[in-house]
Amino acid sequence: PLHVPGRMDTEGIVRWMQRRASPSATLLQDTDTAATFISSQDLVVVGFFKDLGSEAAQVFYEVAGEVVDVPFGVAEAAELFQAYGLSADTICLFKKFDEGRTDFPVDPAQGLDAAKLTRLLHVHSLELVMEFTNETSDQIFSAKIPHHMLLFLNKSSSAQLALRDGFRAAAGTFRGEVLFVVVDVTGYGADVLPFFGLTPADAPTLRLVKMENNRKYQMDQDAFSDTAIRTFIQAVLDGKVKPRLLTAEPPEDWDMRPVKVLVGKTFEQVAFDETKNVFVKFYAPWCSHCQAMAAAWEKLGERYKDHEDIVIAELDATANELENITINGFPTLHYFPAGPGRKMVEYKSARDVETFSKFLENGGTLPEEPPAVSHVPPRQGQGPPPT
């Protein structure tokens, strides 16, 4: 089967089929057709090749057939090379924003690499500073840029809007490595505030997110100059800044209930207590699957509340983050057996009291299933687990 890259909605699939059914790039024969083509869209790509039969040109056609959200053109006429100030094979990205044009010269020795060109086009087709809106959210999350630097502000405040200048000035240094995004806390961006533990009153503020694991970083004290922003980002990239982890406050009776209520700041001492076997449900309050198993988890807590070496617990993973454990779906169930080594076993079987009990009584395994054991690295500042 053929892989359909890009958008998987109806419009995206139709565009891909149309691109596959016709020439992937439009031949631009003179300055008039080139000017018309370049001005026709906010973003176009033109490959200038001395020989359209060259290997580099064929790679360009291949990329054009896959990157269907952007119009592609090709040119080999000498007058077009002259008109656009070129003397050698070059890929030009023309855009009606930021710097207006970005050139990617073709290396005469190494030629053109399809994956590298696709990556460059994706990175440089994004605005240097994006605004988080309903229209741009898909583009932002699908950009495959490993870090996002976010400026949260209230757009109704002229003083806060002025902070965009320093933010933009810092952005060019990290293009392709860090995507800069402005989030209006009173607009579409209000929906993402809980993810960062923020409210509109916290604006203006900055956060950097590592997209691989959603780790969030913040300055000790927000500073909005381009120099301060660049220095902070580089420190994060160099591993010199610890992530800032969300944690709720524990309820007063958190350890008096049959199901212990854990938060970020109490998780470590409970889960890795070497005298206890700890079974933890990581949940989201809005998750229907979590709600469906809530009664079974409470019954499990009641069943084992008098067992000194077994603890049944739960943690709201939307309000609490852990340094070396990333929760990607809800509910996630992990068993932390007693003893050294910081072992963690993921539970993937039926979510009912009897199967839970069988799992616990069997020491964190089910007879018919191999245990999914991993080791959790210690928090920064702790020594390695004993072997």
Per-residue pLDDT tens for 308-324? Answer: 999 999 999 999 999 88
Average pLDDT over residues 253-275: 97
Per-residue pLDDT tens for 48-57? Answer: 999 999 999 9
pLDDT of residue 5: 45
Question: How many CA atoms are closer than 13 Å to the CA of 9, on its beta-carbon side?
Answer: 3
**Three-state SS for 151?**
strand
The reported pTM is: 0.77
Q: Which of 237, 271, 290 represents a domain boundary (last residue)?
A: 237
344 and 282 within one domain: yes
Q: Is the pLDDT of residue 16 over 60?
A: no
Q: Of 94, 226, 96, 103, give the one whose Cα is nearest residue 172.
A: 226
Per-residue pLDDT band at 368 (split at 50, 70, 90): confident
Residue 206 lies in a domain: yes
72 and 143 within one domain: no
pLDDT of residue 65: 92
Residue 1 lies in a domain: no
Angle ∠(28,33,38) on CA atoms, nearest 5: 85
> Could you give the CA distance from residue 118 to residue 214 in angstroms, rounded to a whole number?
25
Question: How many CA atoms are closer than 13 Å to the CA of 215, on its beta-carbon side?
Answer: 17
| Structural domain boundaries, residue 115 | 10-124
321 and 223 within one domain: no
Per-residue pLDDT tens for 231-252? Answer: 999 999 999 999 999 999 999 9
Per-residue pLDDT band at 17 (split at 50, 70, 90): low
115 and 154 within one domain: no
Residue 155 lies in a domain: yes
171 and 96 within one domain: no
Residue 2 lies in a domain: no
Residue 228 lies in a domain: yes
Backbone angles phi, psi at 107, to 5 degrees: -70, 120
Q: Order the strands of the 372-375 sheet from edge to edge.
A: 260-262, 310-316, 277-283, 332-336, 343-347, 372-375
CATH of the domain at 347: 3.40.30.10
Backbone angles phi, psi at 281, to 5 degrees: -100, 120
Count of residues in the chain: 387
Q: Which of 74, 108, 124 represents a domain boundary (last residue)?
A: 124
Q: Which of 97, 124, 151 represents a domain boundary (last residue)?
A: 124
98 and 45 within one domain: yes
> Could you give the CA distance from residue 54 to residue 91 in angstroms, rounded to a whole number?
14
pLDDT of residue 328: 87
Per-residue pLDDT band at 80 (split at 50, 70, 90): very high
Q: Domain count for the chain, please give it.
A: 3
pLDDT of residue 386: 45
Backbone angles phi, psi at 195, to 5 degrees: -60, -30
Residue 4 lies in a domain: no
Backbone angles phi, psi at 367, to 5 degrees: -55, -35
pLDDT of residue 380: 64
